[in-house]
Structure 1
Amino acid sequence: MATKRIKRERTPAFSSHLLLLFHSSLPPSLPRSSSFPSFSRINSSSSGRPVHPPEPETMASEKHFKYLVLGGGVAAGYAAREFAKHGLQPGELAIISKESVAPYERPALSKGYLAPQNAARLPGFHTCVGSGGEKLLPEWYADKGIELILSTEIVKADLATKTLTSADGATFICEILLIATGSSTIKLTDFGVQGAESNNILYLRDIEDADKLVAAMQAKKDGKAVVVGGGYIGLELGAALKTNNFDVTMVYPEPWCMPRLFTAGIAHFYEGYYASKGINIVKGTVASGFDADANGDVSKVNLKDGRVLDADIVIVGVGGRPLTGLFKGQVEEEKGGLKTDTFFETSVAGVYAIGDVATFPMKLYNEPRRVEHVDHARKSAEQAVKAIKAKETGETAAEYDYLPYFYSRSFEVAWQFYGDNVGETVLFGDNDPATEKAKFGTYWVKDGKVIGVFLEGGSAEENQAIAKVARAQPPAADLEALSKEGLDFASKI
């Protein structure tokens, strides 16, 4: 039924905590730290897959570049495109990546990559197709004279000299360094959770993780899956597993899903909608251990409240950490990230941080923020390169004026959010999960101004309208009137 009342619920502010919308929260006992995963150095074919290791004589080489991007995720691909737009000489730019493929649009891994039919595969979603741009195949980098140094572990970084050292002894020296190392997933094995090393307890961060999940889904076809975590990634993977005909149970400790963004009113719709799809939701408890069968495959999930769930696959999404461990003690840090200015330059001249690892001054709210989302990864990369190139010509780039933006889609529902989620909340529209093609939303109001908007089921025009509201921050003193106006309020901006 239509919701007429005003929901005035306090939700955690983006500004008061690290912005980690992709995962559910950790149990309080689990610590957080930074590390950089290891991987070997392999060359890549035109498909982006590894074909052969480098020759032994290259293993202790020294290479010099004008620009060097450390990390091969979304931010790296968009930085490369922006450098190319401004003009590059062959050999000026290199990208060092832990992965064995050229940069790709990471959101595809929890969406199209897991589709039961016509699944997305590389090279179909290399950057920059996610924003409607050109697909940058490995050949594109070669044509532009950009060196892709793939499957390479960097074990030491000297920011003062801008020197990186790999596990095989190779040295990379540059004039300008862009740190784009991203985040890693928190794994239960790090904390000694009983049975967490069992087979088919999986995580999702990169394409290797996605391939493991696909293989497990094929091996345990039509089986039982447990999703540990009720955050961004948990909701998307729960839907993907159900679409693949798994019996799915989601487990998370919070009173509702995605509590860092969702209010109780928003979560009411999605939890009810997921239940209508046959997904079982268990709230208020955590996985305390796992049992395995004789083959070492996970078979049961033991919950802290004493319940036991059968499981053929477990997918864990309980948080992430920015990969900043290589740079400890060498650069200023803030709010869990590397502190930057509006151009994403760190406290070390010529060293920039982009994407997940950057804590930057958010102009709209006049405070430092760290944002983990693909939209910011793309835009921060472009901003840093524009600033670098402007400085070379004695000019100054425009300040980074970012509007926080998050989105997700699963099953037949899709939502978008713009702005900040602090202040009082006003629910509008019909958030009944039984409603076909539901359309509802929430305004966040602080100091008499609308500063954030969430919308489910919006058209392209309506989503543009809520973005304008979040940017303009129009006054809204009468919350009852705002609830009644609903989307009409946004259309007037």
Structure 2
Amino acid sequence: MAVTFCKYIVVGGGVAGGYAAREFVKLGLQPGELTIFSKEAAAPYERPALSKAYMFPDAPARLPGFHVCVGSGGERQLPEWYAEKGIELKLETEIVKADVENKTVTTDKGEVYEYGTLLLATGSTFLDLADFKTAGADAKGIFYLRDLRDADKLVDAIKGTNGGEAVVVGGGYIGLELAACLTVNKIKVTMVFPDPCFMPRLFTPELASFYEGYYEGKGVNVIKGTSVTAFEKDDNGQVSKVLLKDGRTLESTLVVVGVGAKPVLAPFKGLLEEEKGGFKVDASFKTSAPGVYAVGDVATFPMKMYGDTRRVEHVDHARKSAMQAVQAIKAAEKGEVVDEYDYLPFFYSRSFDLSWQFYGDNVGETVIWGREGAAAPGSKFGAYWVKDNKVMGAFLEGGSADENKLIAKVAREQPTVNAKEDLVAAGLGFASKI
């Protein structure tokens, strides 16, 4: 069997794959040196658009408008961009077998490629309710969102609902953003999740109460503290009812599920050292196998700021880790090293007229400021997380670009605070003095 050699291979054509391609080009990539394998039919695009503007009833986002790297203000890399740079972009092609000793990968079409350097950017996929053995989870009308094909199916379902009702399962990122999208499409939404509040991994109950009230004000029915136990189907296999653990039954022919994600480790699982659910890497994103790097959702990396190791599922880290790995790869070829990855955790969300950003670590005591005026349209409020008299994290709702930079600086510098009451009184003013 013929084996094709590639100096660089990227497995995964998502956000990280697209940003890695840009960094390779920036650092002097020669035509024919890079091949990217992607299961998707489209060139790399900014995935967050799918749960936001893609679902809008008016002027929705569509490709080619959100190909990478527009999400960070960069050039839009259309499919022809890759061809112009001499990059082979093999779409609708999955790597199904790997041999890290002989440095080969095999595609689902039986093609074998040998690599000099391999970059794993396979990302995550959604958790399916079938994974939890939820009865009826295979019914028609139950949707998940991870890629463009999922988004197109959901858009068609929204159009077919004609302002009816929908159930959203999950109270995290995807659940909140899609509940908002469904609502602006004039669909009556009920949200169901087992947690005590929205976004429990980040929000405190007090912080979440504003968002829950806001959603309810938009007509969303929020059901907390219970889970879906089963779905009932009609004679055509279409979902008709959602059965809850607390005994309630919700009638709906449209269900959207957002209950989390899991990193895509196959077919490299068992071939590379793992930690905390991902492939263990160093500060340059090198794995335990020679010539193999892993970035984005699948990498468990040293978090320099906090002195531990973490795996981060977020587009910001996908972009930056891909760039870091490519810089490290190119430096190593010259016998040089790059500065270790010094990542500041960053999360954000936009829904309805809301827009929040969070930087740092949500550990310690939460100090909320400006909360009393949070019900007013356009009002700003936020929170600081304080541990051992240091501000470890900062959150801001409704901030401008400059104001968001201020809270990022606070989280990066971890200033000392003498009294938490000072944070409440100063609010955003505390950040402006750092």
Q: Which residue of 1 aligns with 2:163?
A: 222
Aligned AA (1:342): A
- CA drift of 1:324 comes to 1.0
The equivalent position to 1:241 in structure 2, one of 182, 199, 203, is: 182
Q: Which residue of 2 aligns with 1:459?
A: 400
Alignment of 1:11-410 (within 5 A): 62-410=3-351
- CA drift of 1:462 comes to 1.2
1:346-382 deviations in Å (ceiling 9; x for gaps): 1112100000000010111111011100000000000
**Aligned equivalents of 1:462, 1:153: Cα separation in 2:** 42
Q: Which residue of 2 aligns with 1:445?
A: 386
**Aligned equivalents of 2:78, 2:266: Cα separation in 1:** 30
**Aligned equivalents of 2:118, 2:424: Cα separation in 1:** 48
**Aligned equivalents of 1:160, 1:458: Cα separation in 2:** 50
- CA drift of 1:393 comes to 1.3
1:112-152 deviations in Å (ceiling 9; x for gaps): 11010111111111000000100001100000000011111
Aligned AA (1:339): K
Aligned AA (2:166): A
Q: Which residue of 2 aligns with 1:469?
A: 410
1:345 touches 1:352 (CA, 8 Å); kept in 2? Answer: yes
Q: Which residue of 2 aligns with 1:430?
A: 371
**Aligned equivalents of 1:431, 1:400: Cα separation in 2:** 39
Over 4 Å off, 4+ runs:
none
Identity %: 63
2:285 touches 2:321 (CA, 8 Å); kept in 1? Answer: yes
User: In terms of mean alpha carbon deviation, does 195-204 or 165-174 score higher?
Assistant: 165-174
1:415-438 deviations in Å (ceiling 9; x for gaps): 000000001110101255532222
1:68 touches 1:95 (CA, 8 Å); kept in 2? Answer: yes
1:214-257 deviations in Å (ceiling 9; x for gaps): 11111112111100000011000000000000000000001001
TM-score by length of 1: 0.87
Aligned AA (1:296): G
**Aligned equivalents of 1:380, 1:222: Cα separation in 2:** 41
**Aligned equivalents of 1:321, 1:272: Cα separation in 2:** 30
Which structure 2 segments of 5+ residues have no match?
A: none
SS at match of 1:89: coil
**Aligned equivalents of 1:382, 1:165: Cα separation in 2:** 25
1:429-463 deviations in Å (ceiling 9; x for gaps): 12555322221111001111001001101122211
1:384-421 deviations in Å (ceiling 9; x for gaps): 00011111112111111110011111111100000000
1:287 touches 1:303 (CA, 8 Å); kept in 2? Answer: yes
1:383 touches 1:400 (CA, 8 Å); kept in 2? Answer: yes
Aligned-residue RMSD, C-alpha: 1.1
1:428 touches 1:484 (CA, 8 Å); kept in 2? Answer: yes
1:265 touches 1:431 (CA, 8 Å); kept in 2? Answer: no
1:16-57 deviations in Å (ceiling 9; x for gaps): xxxxxxxxxxxxxxxxxxxxxxxxxxxxxxxxxxxxxxxxxx
1:155 touches 1:166 (CA, 8 Å); kept in 2? Answer: yes
2:361 touches 2:385 (CA, 8 Å); kept in 1? Answer: yes
User: In terms of mean alpha carbon deviation, does 425-434 or 304-313 score higher?
Assistant: 425-434
- CA drift of 1:61 comes to 5.4
**Aligned equivalents of 2:421, 2:50: Cα separation in 1:** 41
Which structure 1 segments of 5+ residues have no match?
A: 1-59
2:374 touches 2:380 (CA, 8 Å); kept in 1? Answer: no
Aligned AA (1:281): V
2:263 touches 2:277 (CA, 8 Å); kept in 1? Answer: yes
2:305 touches 2:344 (CA, 8 Å); kept in 1? Answer: yes
Aligned AA (2:117): I
Across the two proteins, how many residue pairs are aligned to each other? Answer: 434
